Amino acid sequence: MKYIIKEILIEDSISDGKVLLAKVTNADDLRPESDLSIFAFPYSDDLEQSLTQLICSSNSNLSFWEPNEDDFVEDTIIDEYGDEIMVFKSLDLIPEFELDDDYDDEYDEEDLEREEDMFALEDETETFDSGIEVYEDKSIDEDPDDIFNDFYNEDSYISDKRYSEDELKKMSVRERHAECSKCSKAKNLGCLIAFYTYFFYNGCQATNEYVVPGLAYLYGRAKDVDKLNQILTKYAFCLWELSQRSKEVTQSLLEIGLSYPYISNQQVDYLESLYNDPKYCEMMDDILYDKEKLPRKISGITKDELSKTNDTFSPRLLKEVYNCFILNQRAQNKRDDEYTEYFVYVRRTNSIIKKEYGQVGSGECVIGGTLDMKSFIEFIEPKYGKECSNYFLREVLKNKPWYNDTDSLIRSYFEWVDWDLLTDIAKEFFAHDTQKIDELKMDIALLYLKRLNKKE
């Protein structure tokens, strides 16, 4: 189809960055009232100049623009004000994902080669279905669970008695992590090993991503690879879903722990990079209890920084957060795995970044826009009135049939409701009053950020 280009615009869109928009009409329909179509391209100076020349020639009836329509898809972009614009989007604006046609659930040869190096510090090894190699020591038959009640012998690098498993079980989650931090500050290696072994025994796939590397480092520091092998052998099933990166970090930290503090500059740099990675920084803050022994000073993201909360949020941040509710929902609908890129709120910097789901770490949260109903009602009633809060309760109740009435619904701090349902109800109550609806959107974003910044 041939088009006449009427106008070009430069737009800083929230969804696609800086884009060039070309407003066009059908060259075969010269009526003044004919509909405009919009084509969207990634911005470049050369493209802007070319399209400008086409405007001049099209208006002079010298030439028309005839794009290859296979290079465009019908989609939307979100402008800087959060409004959706229907466009024909250039494929250059669509992220490309490479899929392996030969993908198999089994590891490929390259994966197996990498995993053959895992813990490969001895010639005699035993390979488990998890794909991780551990040392085989036939001379040690005791149950690895007994480590909680043992002292190390006189030749050990550990002299402090550790917590028993029963003592750790009696602690709350918060108490265990607080006590673990105290052990780190006291430079109590034995105590740290007890905690990280307990975290491994009682953790899950998500926590094992950083617990297993920390455990390997600590047992390396204790020069007790045999005990580490026993633990990983008995609980090898916990390692099956460990990411390739965490396996590599585990291998590296074990080697560094065994050599510490006599390590290379490259290894020091590696420790510092992990210390500044939100996925591993909390673990690194625990295990680097004597980092002053390193060849040079290093710094990273500490637990104190991760505990920082914020009280104030700019209008711009609130608007961006609400827009991210929409963008993240779209991203999840298109693709939902560890490589999916989401907008993430970083509490320690009170800002938003974009990163893969599998790399989201401590103090970071994928922006999701879920609120508890009780807090929401307590917030909007003083501002919008009893009639408004009652209307929201009645409408939400229609979607929560397990509650008998609105009184039981409002008493629950554990009944979650999504931003999109609240927005739809707001549009009905405010009769599509744009100003009021926008105001409530910002309030939803504010409540969400307050929840993420709640002091523990």
Residue predicted with more confidence, 54 or 299: 299
pLDDT of residue 97: 34
Do residues 62 and 122 share a domain? no
pLDDT of residue 62: 46
Do residues 447 and 314 share a domain? yes
Closest Cα to residue 360, out of 277, 263, 248, 432? 277
Do residues 329 and 415 share a domain? yes
Task: Evaluate whether residue 422 is within a structural domain.
Answer: yes
Average pLDDT over residues 328-341: 86
pLDDT of residue 438: 92
**Are the C-beta atoms of residues 440 and 389 closer than 8 Å to each other?**
no
pLDDT of residue 93: 60
| Angle, helices 244-259/225-234, rounded to nearest 10 degrees | 160
CA distance 236 to 256: 22
| Highest-confidence segment of 71-75, 146-150, 205-209 | 205-209
pLDDT of residue 352: 95
Residue predicted with more confidence, 84 or 217: 217
CA distance 341 to 331: 7
pLDDT of residue 209: 92
For residue 104, report the phi and psi dihedrals to the nearest 5 degrees. -135, 150
What's the mean pLDDT when you consider all of the chain? 79
Range of the domain at 242: 111-306
Task: Evaluate whether residue 103 is within a structural domain.
Answer: no
pLDDT of residue 29: 65
DSSP state of 16: T
Average pLDDT over residues 343-360: 93
From 155-169, 209-223, 403-417, 427-441, the region with the lowest mean pLDDT: 155-169
CA distance 184 to 45: 55
CA distances from 67 to 75, 84, 90, 91, 98 (A): 17, 23, 10, 13, 26
93, 122, 140 — which closes off a domain? 93
Average pLDDT over residues 209-231: 93
Do residues 393 and 426 share a domain? yes
- Measured at the alpha carbon of residue 380, what is the angle toward residues 375 and 383, in degrees to the nearest 5? 140
Task: Evaluate whether residue 100 is within a structural domain.
Answer: no
Do residues 295 and 346 share a domain? no
**Sequence-distant (≥ 6) Cβ neighbours of residue 375 within 8 angstroms:** 413, 447, 451
Task: Evaluate whether residue 106 is within a structural domain.
Answer: no
CA distance 446 to 260: 46
Share of the chain above pLDDT 70, in %: 77
93, 126, 155 — which closes off a domain? 93
The owner of tokens 């204790």 is 222
Closest Cα to residue 25, out of 47, 5, 9, 10? 5
Task: Evaluate whether residue 33 is within a structural domain.
Answer: yes
**Are the C-beta atoms of residues 123 and 215 closer than 8 Å to each other?**
no
**Sequence-distant (≥ 6) Cβ neighbours of residue 9 within 8 angstroms:** 20, 21, 23
Alpha helices, DSSP H only, in 292-433? 303-306, 315-334, 373-384, 386-398, 406-410, 419-429
Question: In residues, how long is the chain?
Answer: 456
pLDDT digits (tens, 9 = 90+) for 56-100: 655 444 457 777 777 777 777 777 666 677 788 776 665 443 333
CA distance 148 to 164: 5
pLDDT digits (tens, 9 = 90+) for 373-426: 888 888 889 999 999 999 998 888 888 877 777 787 777 666 778 888 899 999
Q: How many CA atoms lie within 13 A of 157 on its CB side?
A: 15
Do residues 384 and 320 share a domain? yes
Do residues 253 and 336 share a domain? no
CA gyration radius for the chain? 29
Task: Evaluate whether residue 371 is within a structural domain.
Answer: yes
pLDDT of residue 113: 47
pLDDT digits (tens, 9 = 90+) for 2-59: 777 777 888 777 667 788 888 887 777 665 556 778 888 887 777 777 777 666 655 4
Residue predicted with more confidence, 9 or 157: 9
Number of domains in the chain: 3
Closest Cα to residue 254, out of 211, 216, 286? 216
Do residues 261 and 294 share a domain? yes
32, 61, 93 — which closes off a domain? 93
Do residues 324 and 243 share a domain? no
pLDDT of residue 419: 87
The owner of tokens 């909390």 is 282
Q: Which regions of 240-363 does DSSP assign to beta strands (E)?
A: 341-346, 351-356
| Highest-confidence segment of 159-173, 189-203, 265-279 | 265-279
Do residues 383 and 456 share a domain? yes
Task: Evaluate whether residue 99 is within a structural domain.
Answer: no
**Are the C-beta atoms of residues 23 and 35 closer than 8 Å to each other?**
no
Do residues 383 and 247 share a domain? no
User: How crowded is residue 45: how many other Cβ atoms within 10 Å of its Cβ?
Assistant: 8
DSSP structure string for 266-309 = HHHHHHHHHHT-TTTHHHHHHH-TTGGGSSS------HHHHT--
Do β-strands 416-418 and 341-346 pair in parallel, antiparallel, or remain unpaired?
unpaired
What is the SS3 assignment for 14? coil
pLDDT of residue 376: 87
Do residues 231 and 178 share a domain? yes
Cis bond before residue 67 (omega within 30° of 0): no
Task: Evaluate whether residue 413 is within a structural domain.
Answer: yes
**Sequence-distant (≥ 6) Cβ neighbours of residue 285 within 8 angstroms:** 181, 184, 275, 300, 301, 302, 303
Query: Does the model's pTM come out above 0.75?
Result: no
